[in-house]
Chain A
Amino acid sequence: GESVGLHLPTLSVQEGDNSIINCAYSNSASDYFIWYKQESGKGPQFIIDIRSNMDKRQGQRVTVLLNKTVKHLSLQIAATQPGDSAVYFCAEFPGGFKTIFGAGTRLFVKA
């Protein structure tokens, strides 16, 4: 089946550095993507979204890049902080109201 996947299961960065988390999707019909973070035992927290008619979207300290040619998403976190430590998921909406989540990437921020 079609799926969304993350390239790296674990990412460790130094506090203050920039983090880049990658995601590959396989459904070319997907027109909406989101990134969210999830802390242990908690519900997911929306970070940023992007539609397929955009290549880049910026939020506060976060940027999402979408490369439709290679079906790739990335989440960039600037000046990573200890509070950014969590599991990050990408998800795609391939039409209708369904959602496909990929395997998460755990981000460790070292002080």
Chain B
Amino acid sequence: AAGVIQSPRHLIKEKRETATLKCYPIPRHDTVYWYQQGPGQDPQFLISFYEKMQSDKGSIPDRFSAQQFSDYHSELNMSSLELGDSALYFCASSLRQLGYGYTFGSGTRLTVV
């Protein structure tokens, strides 16, 4: 069965660079959620999209932006990277109402050096 696909799996960037993370939801899922998980920390909700519109916002820094495209995939753009941005970024997708078929991706490990 198709799962939530994230790319890249690993990414190394230098401080002040930019990074783009991609999330491909399960087919027919219309909602995407982004989370950030620092080393040894709980995941933190960043932002979500439903039907290509931002549906909710969490602790996403102003340096980050995200969008959901017409094919429902989503991209998280991160600029002026800081060392503290090093984390596991994972997304999840679901169908229509919150939670139906909620499935996680495997995550992108971002390391800022």
Contact = CB atoms under 8 A, between A and B. Distances in A.
Partners in one complex: yes
Interface of A: 31-32, 34, 36, 41-46, 49, 51, 89, 91, 93, 96-104
A15 B56 CA distance: 42
A26 B56 CA distance: 20
B105 A97 contact: no
Contacts of B90: 43-44
Given A45-B104, A46-B104, A49-B102, A98 B43 contact: no
A44 B35 CA distance: 11
B99 interface: yes
A44 B42 contact: no
Contacts of A102: 42
B42 A101 contact: yes
Contacts of B109: 41
Contacts of A99: 33, 35, 43, 45, 58
A100 B106 contact: no
Contact of B104 (A31, A44, A51, A93): A44
A89 B43 contact: yes
